[in-house]
């Protein structure tokens, strides 16, 4: 591929994880680390999508229940469960996922816009979809994963 | 004495005439104020009984020769009626739960068997089952049961235990309507359908095939209009 084409169709790396039957991808540049499940301290009065907080080398990080956020039923964590520490525009949060799969490379041209038939607010964090290994990969825009109000609320934990 | 009597009569007539004219010219009060003690009593009016005799038409009515064809007025297409409903059309009959529905073939691209569950997209309404890649196309699969019966009834169905078997793909290849069974393809004549005129509610339901009591649906009104992101 020529340099012009590379510029027009850049390659991005995505960390993929599973939630139920579906596979999701998040921008590798925003992933700080992937942790095994440790003790998550619940926060009284927190919204349902907040599992609690963890101590990450002296920093308090809020862990989000991604299943709850995506409207899926919560399940018991197991050996495959992971907390992915991600860096959004101005916050560091952890997201609990069923398992972390791999890192994949995708060209911008491979990503298609996901249909939005519902409420704009609820699905604005879906950046797009792409077909990979005979299944659809749903790409999540972490910067839109939480609303501004929700981000402010994170500061209180 | 005679002339004096005549004068008197004339004067009395003048007075009477003046009185009559002044009564006519007097303004009729728009309302009459009643004292509190006044009562309005209904005055019974004499009712005259009128005998109505049956009319007898003496002259024979001129015979009007109307042909049967002229009695059958041509179907006037309604503004809300889709183009395909103006003439005889081929329809696909399919089943959603226990309901049999019909939709014109021209509105559909193909039907597929459900071999793989659609990929669910978070944050979408419950009637949006997800995305499915098929025949180089990515379709949004819709829970036809929820769209037709409404959320409260449609959501009662456990799709894990009772999954839809077939998907009807719309002509534009963007949407798939999940259903239980495809029954048949048949011709439907417009005059055999009771077309709905007011379609403010349920605009997708455009009529009923009278013989089979099958609902005729316009899939274009059933599918959502995809928002551009």
pLDDT band at B82 (very low <50, low <70, confident <90, very high): confident
| Domain ranges, ordered by start, for chain A | 3-154
B134's CB contacts (< 8 A; 6+ apart) are: B112, B169, B176
- Quote the pLDDT of residue B16: 58
Taking an 8 Å cut-off on Cβ atoms, the answer to whether A126 and B226 are in contact is no
| pLDDT tens, position by position, B114-172 | 998 999 998 889 899 999 998 888 999 999 999 998 877 877 888 888 899 999 999 99
Residue B39 confidence (pLDDT): 42
Q: Which residue has the tokens 């183009």?
A: B83
* B226 close to A115: Cβ distance less than 8 angstroms: yes
CB contact under 8 A, B138 and A113: no
Using 50, 70 and 90 to split pLDDT, how confident is the model at B26?
very low
Are A146 and A93 in contact by the 8 Å Cβ rule? The answer is yes
Q: Nearest CA to B119 among B110, B127, B111, B128?
A: B128
* Max mean pLDDT range (A49-63, B37-51, B151-165): A49-63
What local confidence, expressed as pLDDT, does residue B22 receive?
A: 46
> Given CB atoms, is A111 within the 8 Å cutoff of chain B?
no
Q: CB–CB of A115 and B131 under 8 A?
A: yes
Within an 8 Å CB–CB cutoff, is residue A136 touching chain B?
Answer: yes
* Measured distance CA(B216)–CA(B226) in Å, rounded: 23
Look at residue B50 in the predicted model and tell me its pLDDT.
Answer: 43
| Chain B hits for A70, Cβ within 8 Å | 122-123
Distance set, CA A90 to CA A14, A51, A123, B137 (Å): 20, 20, 21, 38
Q: Report, as an integer, the average pLDDT of B104-111.
A: 93
Lowest mean per-residue pLDDT among A32-36, A130-134, B111-115: A130-134
Residue B198 has pLDDT above 50, yes or no: yes
A24 → chain B, closest CA residue: B121
Return the closest-CA partner of residue B188 out of B107, B111, B104, B109. Answer: B104
Q: What is the pLDDT of residues A66-78, one digit of tens each?
A: 999 888 888 999 9
Task: Kindly identify which residue of chain A lies nearest to residue B142, measuring between CA atoms.
Answer: A117
Whether the CB-CB separation of A130 and A45 falls below 8 Å is answered with no
Backbone angles phi, psi at A53, to 5 degrees: -125, 155
**Nearest CA to B178 among B208, B195, B157, B202?**
B157
pLDDT in tens, B156-193: 888 888 899 999 999 999 999 999 999 999 999 988 88
Average pLDDT of A104-123? Answer: 81
Distance, in angstroms, between A99 CA and closest chain B CA?
Answer: 17
| pLDDT recorded at residue B46 | 47
ipTM above 0.85, yes or no: no
Nearest to B108 by CA among B223, B10, B2, B187: B223
- Lowest mean pLDDT segment, chosen from A85-89, A115-119, B216-220: A115-119
Beta carbons within 8 Å of A98's beta carbon, 6+ residues apart: A17, A18, A19, A20, A67, A75, A80, A81
CATH fold group of domain A3-154? OB fold (Dihydrolipoamide Acetyltransferase, E2P) (2.40.50)
Give buried/exposed letters for B189-228 (b at 16+ CB in 10 A, else e): ebeebebbeebeeeebbbbbbeeeebbbbbbbebbbeeee
What per-residue confidence (pLDDT) applies to A59? 87
What is the structure's pLDDT at B25?
43
Domain ranges of chain B: 83-222
Strands (E), A68-148: 82-87, 92-97, 99-107, 126-132, 135-140
Cβ-defined contact of A119 to B122 (cutoff 8 Å): no
User: Are A26 and A17 within 8 A, CB to CB?
Assistant: yes
Check residue B103 and give its pLDDT: 94
Q: In chain B, pLDDT over 70 holds for what percent of residues?
A: 62
Higher-pLDDT residue of A99 and B135 is A99
Question: What topology is assigned to B83-222 in CATH?
Answer: OB fold (Dihydrolipoamide Acetyltransferase, E2P) (2.40.50)
């Amino acid at each position: 591929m020529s340099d012009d084409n590379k510029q027009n169709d850049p390659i991005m790396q995505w960390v993929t994880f599973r939630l139920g039957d579906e596979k999701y991808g998040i921008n590798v540049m925003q992933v700080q680390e992937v942790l095994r499940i440790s003790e998550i301290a619940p926060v009284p009065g927190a919204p349902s999508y907040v599992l609690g907080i963890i101590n990450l080398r002296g920093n308090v990080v809020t862990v989000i229940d991604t299943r709850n956020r995506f409207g899926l039923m919560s399940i018991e964590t197991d050996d495959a469960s992971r907390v992915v520490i991600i860096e959004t525009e101005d916050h560091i949060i952890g997201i609990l996922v069923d398992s972390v799969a791999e890192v994949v490379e995708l060209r911008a041209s491979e990503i298609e816009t996901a249909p939005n038939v519902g409420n704009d607010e609820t699905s604005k964090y879906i950046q797009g979809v792409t077909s990979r290994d005979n299944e659809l990969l749903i790409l999540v825009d972490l910067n839109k994963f939480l609303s501004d109000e929700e981000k402010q609320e994170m500061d209180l934990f | 004495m005679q002339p004096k009597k005549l004068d008197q009569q004339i004067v009395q007539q003048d007075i009477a005439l003046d009185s009559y004219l002044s009564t006519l010219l007097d303004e009729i009060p728009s309302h009459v104020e009643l004292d509190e003690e006044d009562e309005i009593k209904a005055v019974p009016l004499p009712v005259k009984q009128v005998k109505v005799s049956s009319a007898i038409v003496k002259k024979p009515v001129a015979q009007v020769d109307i042909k049967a064809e002229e009695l059958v007025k041509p179907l006037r297409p309604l503004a809300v009626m889709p183009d395909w409903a103006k003439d005889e059309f081929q329809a696909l009959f399919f089943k959603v739960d226990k309901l049999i529905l019909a939709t014109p073939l021209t509105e559909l691209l193909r039907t597929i068997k459900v071999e793989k569950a659609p990929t669910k997209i978070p944050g979408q309404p419950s009637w949006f089952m997800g995305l499915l890649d098929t025949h180089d196309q990515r379709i949004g699969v819709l829970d036809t049961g929820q769209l037709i019966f409404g959320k409260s009834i449609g959501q009662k169905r456990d799709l894990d235990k009772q999954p839809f078997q077939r998907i009807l793909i719309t002509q534009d290849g963007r949407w798939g309507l999940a259903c239980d069974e495809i029954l048949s393809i048949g011709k439907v004549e417009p005059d055999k359908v009771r077309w709905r005129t007011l379609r403010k509610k349920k605009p997708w339901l455009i009529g009923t095939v009278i013989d089979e009591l099958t609902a005729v649906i316009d899939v274009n009104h059933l599918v959502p209009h995809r928002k551009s992101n």
